[in-house]
Amino acid sequence: MPQISNENCMQAVRNLLLLFAAMLLFACHRGSEEPRSNADIAALDARTAYDLALAAYDADSIQRCEQLLNHAIRQATESGDLHTLYLAQLQLAQSLAWGNTEAALDMARQALATYERHPDSPRNHIIILDNIGTYASQLAYNTDTSFDQALAYALRAYDLAQSSSDSLGTEQLAQTLTTLANIHWAMEHYSEALQCARRAVACAPDNLLTSAQQVLARCLVSCDSLVAAERVYRSMRPDEDLRTAYVIQSSLAKLALHRQDVAAAEEAIDSAFAGAEELYYRSLQQKSEYYQNSLAQELERERLAYHSRLQRRTLWGGIILLLLLAAGAAYVVRQRLLSARRQLEAETQLRRQEQQLHQQELHHHQQQALAQQEQLRQRDGVIEFLKDFILQRSAVIQKLGESAERHVVLTSREWSEVERTLNAIDGDRFARLRQRYPDLREEDVQLCILTRLRLTNRAVGNIYGVSISAVQHRKLKLKKEVFGEPDPDLPFEQVLDSL
């Protein structure tokens, strides 16, 4: 029964430990589902941080985006992931361009240097060069410096886009031509700007057509081609882009004023103001929706964080309770094991004492048996001594002892006296022999008597007046034919003693 209880306790301890491990894993999993804080960013790899930065940029979380991008750049530099490194540098330059054009230009140059160490996509190469040209032209325009560097980068991007247009399509070519048109326009090279803008509109896909047309119209205005510019403005389709619609209407108003067409100017101005007002209210609505969404997200994060903390506390409380139960069960099992061990040791000690007592009793019995054997041996010695003493006192036997030196003849009475003496000493041996073998002759009985008296074959031969070989032959015949002993090598004395 104690053994069964211990097994049950050990099984309970194992179940508690398994439950503890499951709860710990669940707690860790719940912790991993929380929104990532600043401390969590340090555990991200480069690619994950870059993907999260893109999501933050799309959600207008610029500060969060730049924080993730800086971490992605550090991790990619340490791990040697050049592809992720230049992508993160390029995205960071795009984020910095909103407020710091010089920092954006420097980061874009770093992205170009990284890409040149690991060139893998001509499209990305064109994008990097085009962005550098754009940032350099913005910086030159803001600081009133030379546009030569911006133009050089833009021309490199254009040459690469033109050579890769068969494999990449015309999107990159249209983008680089638009950038060149803007740079030439800023440099007041209006004819070159107009030429690049017309080529950009000719090859621009749908997603870039509006921006290319806007640049073309601006270049036409600068070249005093007001009718062509108005035609371009009226052909533009801004759709839901209210900012572009406002730019179109305000530009049409300016063109109408140039033509001194008051009615058209008023209509364009009214449309521009209506578009601006709609743009303003839509911006307010978008801003309100953005703040409401941000507030809802913040509340949701706080709720999730609160539930996560509550769940963690509950889980840790359960874990601590399980640990206490496991410790209690382990203590009970330990006490039972110690009790069982003490009981086993006591039983072992008792068995050891019983074995010692048994060995002592066995040794005592062996000593008694040895003493009895010694007593029997001493008694047999005394008996043999008495037998020999009796035989030595018999005159007939003394006479037979002289047969080794001379011929001895015994009468029938003397033979009977010797037989009676031996029967008295040996417990009627020869009487039983006669009874068992009734066909024995007197000569055979006498030979057995002489053999019992330990007389040699020579002495027996002197008594019978025959040779030693005749005595041996007679003993062999008697042993085989009368007593039925088949072994010729077994001495006659042993055969006689066994009978």
Q: How high is the pLDDT of residue 268?
A: 54
Cβ–Cβ under 8 Å, residues 122 and 162:
no
Q: What residue type is 351 in one-letter code?
A: R
Q: How high is the pLDDT of residue 113?
A: 93
Q: What is the mean pLDDT of residues 16-42?
A: 55
Of the listed ranges 201-210, 371-380, 397-406, the least confidently predicted one is 397-406
Asked whether the predicted pLDDT for residue 26 surpasses 80, the reply is no
Q: How high is the pLDDT of residue 406?
A: 63
d(CA 7, CA 333): 9
Number of helices (H), then strands (E), belonging to the chain: the values are 22, 0
Asked whether the predicted pLDDT for residue 4 surpasses 60, the reply is no
d(CA 493, CA 74): 114
Q: How high is the pLDDT of residue 405?
A: 59
Could you identify the residue written with the tokens 């008792």? 350
**Considering the entire predicted model, what is its pTM?**
0.50
Q: How high is the pLDDT of residue 445?
A: 86
The 3-state DSSP class for residue 215 equals helix
pLDDT in tens, 88-142: 999 999 888 878 889 999 999 999 999 998 888 889 999 999 999 999 999 998 8
Q: How high is the pLDDT of residue 33?
A: 42
Q: How high is the pLDDT of residue 398?
A: 66
Q: Which long-range contacts (CB under 8 A, 24 or more apart) does 33-36 make?
A: 33/304, 33/308, 34/304, 34/305, 34/308, 35/301, 35/304, 35/305
How far does Cα 48 stand from its chain's mean position? 26
Fold exhibited by the domain 22-223+289-312 = 1.25.40
Q: What is the mean pLDDT of residues 205-234?
A: 85
Kindly give, in sequence order, each residue whose CB lies less than 8 Å from that of residue 105, ignoring residues fewer than 6 positions away: 93, 132, 135, 136, 139
Cβ–Cβ under 8 Å, residues 272 and 250:
yes
Q: How high is the pLDDT of residue 199?
A: 92
d(CA 37, CA 10): 42
Q: How high is the pLDDT of residue 28?
A: 53
pLDDT in tens, 300-340: 778 888 888 888 888 888 888 888 888 888 888 888 888 88
Q: Which long-range contacts (CB under 8 A, 24 or more apart) does 422-428 make?
A: 422/449, 422/452, 422/453, 425/387, 425/390, 425/391, 426/452
Higher pLDDT, 429 or 59: 429
Q: How deeply is 196 buried, as exposed, middle or buried, from its count of CB atoms within 10 A (0-12, 13-18, 19+)? A: buried
Most confident of 212-221, 268-277, 367-376: 212-221
Q: How high is the pLDDT of residue 27?
A: 52
Cβ–Cβ under 8 Å, residues 88 and 76:
yes
Most confident of 36-45, 279-288, 385-394, 420-429: 420-429
Confidence of residue 390 (pLDDT cuts 50, 70, 90): low
Cβ–Cβ under 8 Å, residues 169 and 126:
no
Tokens standing for residue 403: 């047969």
Q: How high is the pLDDT of residue 300?
A: 79
Of the listed ranges 167-176, 376-385, 469-478, the least confidently predicted one is 376-385
Residue 247: name the closest of 236, 259, 258, 262 by CA.
236
Q: What does each C-alpha distance from 374 to 72, 369, 387 come to in angstroms?
A: 103, 8, 19
Asked whether the predicted pLDDT for residue 276 surpasses 60, the reply is no
**Domains in the chain: boundaries:** 2-11+314-389, 22-223+289-312, 400-498
Of the listed ranges 178-187, 245-254, 349-358, 438-447, the least confidently predicted one is 245-254
d(CA 478, CA 485): 9
Please, what sign has the CA dihedral across residues 337, 341, 347, 350?
negative
Q: How high is the pLDDT of residue 16?
A: 57
Q: What is the mean pLDDT of residues 197-210?
A: 88
Q: How high is the pLDDT of residue 322?
A: 82
pLDDT in tens, 49-67: 899 888 888 777 788 888 8
Asked whether the predicted pLDDT for residue 164 surpasses 90, the reply is no
Asked whether the predicted pLDDT for residue 9 surpasses 60, the reply is no
Cβ–Cβ under 8 Å, residues 66 and 95:
yes
Residue 448: name the closest of 424, 418, 427 by CA.
418
- Helix pair angle (412-426, 262-393), 10° resolution: 150
pLDDT in tens, 227-241: 888 888 888 877 666
Angle at alpha carbon of residue 452, lines to 449 and 454, rounded to 5°:
120
Asked whether the predicted pLDDT for residue 32 surpasses 70, the reply is no
Confidence of residue 478 (pLDDT cuts 50, 70, 90): confident
Q: Which long-range contacts (CB under 8 A, 24 or more apart) does 162-170 make?
A: 164/122, 164/123, 164/126, 167/122, 168/122, 168/123, 168/126, 169/205, 170/203, 170/204, 170/205
Q: How deeply is 216 buried, as exposed, middle or buried, from its count of CB atoms within 10 A (0-12, 13-18, 19+)? A: buried
Q: How high is the pLDDT of residue 379?
A: 55
d(CA 457, CA 475): 10
